[in-house]
Amino acid sequence: MLGPSRQTAEKLSKQLYVQATVAIVKPPLKIAVAGLGTVGAGALQLLDRQADLLAQRAGRRIVVAAVSARDRRRDRGVDLSAVRWYEDAAAMAADPEIDVVVELIGGADGIARRVVDAALDHGKHVVSANKALMAHHGTSLAARAEEKGVTLSFEPSVAGGIPVIKALREGLAGNRLIRLYGILNGTSNYILTTMRETAHEFAEVLAEAQKLGYAEADPSFDIDGIDAAHKLAILASVGFARPVDLSGVYAEGIRHVSRLDIDFAEELGYRIKLLGIARLTEEGLEQRVHPCMVPRSTPIAAVDGVYNAVVAEGDFVGRVVLEGRGAGAQPTASAVAADLIDIAAGRYVAPLGVPTANLRALPGVPIERHQGAYYIRLMVVDQPGVIADVAAALRDEQVSMESMIQRGRAPGEAVPVVLTTHVTVEAAMRRALKKIEALDTVLESPHMIRIEDF
């Protein structure tokens, strides 16, 4: 087969030359980075080491012109001697020479909010890794960015290096989503995975996770579902084109999950995962974060350790699964770089996927109206009539039992009994559990985990 003609080869060579030099021809994109903690340092390192790659993909250089952090002496792994330092990050955001402010401080209000407000007030693009800020104020910030004609990007705020915001906002733009769910917190996923693999209890695994740095000294943000709720509120807004509604997210953590529950789940063919789920129903949009029993055969069941995963189900595309590292300096820095490249290249998409004026006022569906199947674990006195009393409480609330497991016989002693139900309304399930808990033969509060059939 003959190769290209000399004329064609020269033309291709000229095109490649133009592509390689366009980054030098266009003025650089000057950015300011507020917050140089773990993520901030990672972002600086990526921008330094991948500078040529980013310039080729963006069509211009991306240059760190200013930074703001409390400790100037700390080594961030890059040379910052030529970069302007600001004590006041909000003042840095107003610097007329800055094109983009990268906010990596964190927190829904305080200095992080002031930085983003200042940047938008002065007509600067914003990239933020701040899930709390976006979950609490995302809709109003998006509206201000649109009014100012600038970009508000927040890919690094959800699922670390997984490009889930871009996938929902752009890659799946031709679909109406039916359901969106995922493992959105690596700490909880690590704990549940380790409990299953080591047969240790929750408290033991949490303590080990804290030693390894996977869990904070105060782990409540992670293990009580708050972190995942922030992320789900953001994803649901982008995925379903509605205002960000953190108050509408039901959040329940993993403190009550025991090794016994994990063992029973395995026996029943399930894995326990802390999931964030947004689902359209006839009544509106469910937004809920809680432990779930998911079939072992599903992709989400195989995501272990500190990894995150997001599954989107669209009317044309079907099921799309995204999995990767959901936190850490390098994955989050990757997401920061992706947002900066889009801004440098002049690619603009409405922050929440559609203009804020076009967001849908989808009603939220409270958890009490959720319909699904349930796993119930009871600790009861082993004596005649116990199961009949439990069955009567379920019957009275029209909850249908699917299966029951009781191990061994120990007359007069405490034994576990596990029930699974057919699909029922949560309000009825809760009423039945309240009646069951009141029985003299039930020794502790029933443990309930929702079963999700993916």
Cβ burial, residue 79 (10 Å; 0-12/13-18/19+): exposed
Question: What burial letters (b/e) apply to 5-41, b meaning 16+ CB within 10 Å?
Answer: eeeeeeeeeeeeeeeeeebeebebbbbbbbbbbebbb
The residues with which 207 forms a beta bridge, in sequence order, are none
- Using left for φ > 0, alpha for ψ between -120 and 50, and beta otherwise, residue 160 falls in left
Place of tokens 């995922």: 182
The residues with which 152 forms a beta bridge, in sequence order, are 126
Distance CA 367, CA 376 (A): 17
Of 231, 273, 434, 435, which is the active-site residue? Answer: 231
Q: Are 44 and 36 in contact (CB under 8 A)?
A: yes
Distance CA 161, CA 397 (A): 45
- For residue 173 the two structure tokens come to 């733009």
Cβ burial, residue 132 (10 Å; 0-12/13-18/19+): buried
Distance CA 192, CA 210 (A): 14
- Our answer to whether residue 231 is catalytic in this structure is yes
C-alpha angle 320-327-109 in degrees, rounded to nearest 5: 105
- DSSP code of residue 397: T
- Residue positions annotated with a catalytic role: 231
